[in-house]
Structure 1
Amino acid sequence: MTGRKATVGGLVTANPVWVGSSELTMTLDGLITCIDAGAGAVVAKSVNESAAARRQLDIADYAFVSAGGRVRPAGAARRGDGLLNRSGLAQVDLDDWLALLAAGVEHGAARGCPVIGSITLGDPVAAARIAHAMAGAVPAVELNIGAPHGREASAVRQLTEADAVHDAVRVVRVAVDAPLFVKLPGQASDVVALARAARSAGADAVGLVGRYPGFLPDLDGGAVLGSWGAWGSPACLPMSLYWVAKARTALDVPLVGTNGARTATDVLRFLASGARAVEVVTALWIGGPAALAELVAGVDAYLDARDLDEFVGSALAGAREYKDIPPVRPPAWLPYTARWSRSSGR
């Protein structure tokens, strides 16, 4: 898919299938592996100013959960599993991290695959300082203000109010000349309002949406992972697409989709809903680099005879407001209520 470039917020990428920030992109070997597997862009593991956020990586843990509720270790995970996890930020000094990013950028440049730096918000002023330094090493910076772990640990923050989003993005924006992408949470009263606030504060693109807070009892008096965590799964896909589609309809801002894409069809649904690129992570946890290559090939094959720019947001032409939908005749609920009545003997 190297010939089908995707441009997002001024950043030209090899294709619209990106690798999101995670432990998989925390080392130079990890970045290179993603680049060589065909990623359109790679978002490096997040950093911030907090030593506590780095220490949080020491308690990182991962549980893969089947659609039927079976909990599996990483080595036994399957494509349709959800992921419940704890995580922290990269345990590295900023100067060393910038050198690693620069090496990744150099490797990706020959393949048209940008490496994007990532900051998970702690203190906005500190984030601005890191972003300014990072922009000297990478072609774009992602500011993650949607980290679900922000609800459990003060070392990172999750912002769910428009004013707070605007203020934080504005502080970072003035410090960065490179494209600035802002990743937002999915658990907020109005995600479109958050996207509007990020855009008005200077975001070049908006990522929708971060994973959700999660909790899963093990029914033996404890909890999976022994704590709360962050949750993502294929079942999150329609919720993520909802906010992508709503933001596409309401705003003039490039969108990056995330949370729920495991197959090429999932990626295409993000694009049809209005995203210009899609970040994937859990599919790679489960399937390795081959899964990334499969996604890229599948998306490329579908779009072979289509124009990417025209395909982005194409599903919205067939989506109407409730008030504009004529009555369904016969009523769609009729067979369900009839079956219920028969089964109850009435």
Structure 2
Amino acid sequence: MDVAGLATANPVWVGSSELTMTLDGLLACIDAGAGAVVAKSVNESAAARRQLDIADYAFVSWDGRVRPPGAARPGDGLLNRSGLAQVDLDHWLGTLATAVARGAPRDCPVLGSITLGDPAAAARIGRAMAAVVPAVELNIGAPHGREARAVRQLTEVDGVGEAVRTVRDAVDVPLFVKLPGQASDVVALARAARSAGADAVGLVGRYPGFLPDLDGGAVLGSWGAWSSPGCLPMSLYWVSKAFSALDVPLVGTNGARSAADVLRFLASGARAVEVVTALWVGGPAVIGAMVAGVAKYLAGRDFDEFVGSAVAGTREYAEVSPLPAPAWLPYTARWTSSGR
């Protein structure tokens, strides 16, 4: 299969995170069977690298219990504060080149990633990356952009178009653009990115988050970025809407913890799915389980026909026929029968 001309062994990709910040981490994901691996983001800002010194992570259960990383469980959400890779660009390019060489025979491309600071600087970094990686991801949806001055989250069409165009002009390999989920019209952002030269669009970045600890403070002691299984329908909303409106390859992210979740992304219109938090919880072995589960389900099915298959029969509200009985009736009946 391919995504925007990028050959990949399967649609289960590993997204950019601290887990892909070292050569060992990159190789572990490749060896575990990932279809592609997105390396940890970099940019030109020393402040963005220093922010990694205050990185912290809290896993939150469905009933609000907070657990440290070593005690995380599969259904937990992740609230974190993060920064960018603390590496010299030349050294990082060498790391990327080594990982690319490991992944190429397995059809596991390794993508370089840039979290936007200054567009002109991102273009310079992208040009250097394009000499060693088969594709570059430009992340303009980083949730930390609302809190950290060293990175930016773009939520307006003009800003997206300008940033993508600037990097596109400098990069001669496929350009993947990752967008935020918290914007008035994410489809409009995707259209702007495509028009400015994006070869594929990633939907969607994690959401800003905040959680009081009820002991006089906040979990992590600050705001952060949030992802959980509960984010899945929200991410699939924008993937399905973009699939319906645009002709652009989509990469889904934010909410996939299992093979079934990956399949839901594909059925909503994504051609590949980036996973991160599932690896924080279960380690690289999670990748193999997801790949096997997806392959088993898709065996005998046409991949291209499956992509977006759930969208074809989905109707606008105005097109939905009245139900035989009001769906709300059983709920209100319980109140009536209790004498309220």
Q: TM-score range by the shorter chain?
A: over 0.9
Deviations 1:133-161 (A, max 9, x none): 00001000000000000000110000000
Given candidates 105, 113, 131, the residue that maps to 1:110 is 105
Given candidates 227, 233, 239, the residue that maps to 1:232 is 227
User: Within 1, Cα distance between the matches of 2:303 and 2:24?
Assistant: 31
Given candidates 149, 168, 182, the residue that maps to 1:173 is 168
Q: Which amino acid is 1:47 matched to?
A: V
- Say yes or no: does 1:43 pair with 2:38: yes
Deviation of the 1:75 alpha carbon: 0.9
Deviation of the 1:38 alpha carbon: 0.3
Deviations 1:188-240 (A, max 9, x none): 00000000000000000000000000000000110000000000000000000
Q: Which amino acid is 2:11 matched to?
A: P
User: Within 2, Cα distance between the matches of 1:264 and 1:337?
Assistant: 37
- Say yes or no: does 1:147 pair with 2:142: yes
Q: Which amino acid is 1:52 matched to?
A: A
Counterpart of 1:333?
328
Given candidates 15, 19, 33, the residue that maps to 1:20 is 15
- Say yes or no: does 1:184 pair with 2:179: yes
- Say yes or no: does 1:85 pair with 2:80: yes
Deviation of the 1:14 alpha carbon: 1.1
Q: What is the identity percentage for the equivalent residue pairs of Structure 1 and Structure 2?
A: 82
Q: Which runs of 5+ in 1 are unaligned?
A: 1-5
Deviation of the 1:310 alpha carbon: 0.8
Deviation of the 1:178 alpha carbon: 0.2
- Say yes or no: does 1:136 pair with 2:168: no
1:256 alignment partner, SS class: strand
Deviation of the 1:318 alpha carbon: 1.8
Deviations 1:97-128 (A, max 9, x none): 00000000000012110000000000000000
Deviation of the 1:256 alpha carbon: 0.1
1:266 alignment partner, SS class: helix
User: Within 2, Cα distance between the matches of 1:341 and 1:210?
Assistant: 43
Return 309-318 or 48-57, whichever deviates more: 309-318
Given candidates 279, 296, 301, the residue that maps to 1:306 is 301
Counterpart of 2:253?
258
Task: Number of aligned residue pairs: give it.
Answer: 340
Q: Which amino acid is 1:160 matched to?
A: T
Given candidates 197, 202, 206, the residue that maps to 2:197 is 202
User: Within 2, Cα distance between the matches of 1:25 and 1:290?
Assistant: 15
User: Within 1, Cα distance between the matches of 2:336 and 2:114?
Assistant: 55
Given candidates 93, 96, 99, the residue that maps to 1:98 is 93
Mapping 1:246-285, distance limit 5 Å: 246-285=241-280
Moved over 3 A (4+): none
2:106 alignment partner, SS class: coil
Counterpart of 1:120?
115
Q: Which amino acid is 1:173 matched to?
A: R
User: Within 1, Cα distance between the matches of 2:275 and 2:190?
Assistant: 20
User: Within 2, Cα distance between the matches of 1:103 and 1:34?
Assistant: 14
1:159 alignment partner, SS class: coil
User: Within 2, Cα distance between the matches of 1:322 and 1:112?
Assistant: 42
Q: Which amino acid is 2:301 matched to?
A: R
Counterpart of 1:3?
none
Counterpart of 1:11?
6
1:110 alignment partner, SS class: helix
* TM-score for the superposition, normalised by structure 1: 0.98
* TM-score for the superposition, normalised by structure 2: 0.99
Return 324-333 or 130-139, whichever deviates more: 324-333
Q: Which amino acid is 1:280 matched to?
A: V
